Amino acid sequence: MIVIDYQDRRPIYEQIVERFEKLILKGALEADSQMPSVRQMAAELSINPNTIQKAYAILEQEGYIYPVKGKGNFVNGNLVLRQRKKEACFQKLEECLTEGREFGITAEDCLKCLRRVYGEVDI
């Protein structure tokens, strides 16, 4: 489920947060499904439980999971998360396109890139 890249310069807890965010947003972890326990994840990844706890705290702050006292953490099924992530992606895309235009990248160049990323579809 979660794989840690020890070559990555980012802290392990950030990698865990990112991987769970992607799993939740893609729907691989269904709404209201239980997250693995802190101990279970720590044992599975052979890392300190405090690292998992920190990642879960961040996921909770960002609204991806919610705690249930005595039961553990569960995936939040809020569609607002997906919308917020899409808006952030569009904002990054706009910034990138603006910067590319400043360096002479044409709309046709962008469309070629878009076709490469999404496959050969008519755009």
pLDDT on residue 10? 95
pLDDT on residue 121? 59
Crossing angle of the two packed helices 12-26 and 79-102, in degrees rounded to 10: 110
pLDDT on residue 13? 96
> How many beta carbons lie within 10 A of that of residue 85, not counting itself?
14
Report field, pTM of the whole predicted structure over 0.85? no
pLDDT on residue 123? 54
pLDDT on residue 64? 93
Question: Tell me, what DSSP letter sits at residue 73?
Answer: E
Rounded CA gap, 33 and 64, in Å? 12
Q: Which residues of the chain have pLDDT under 50?
A: none
Rounded CA gap, 35 and 122, in Å? 40
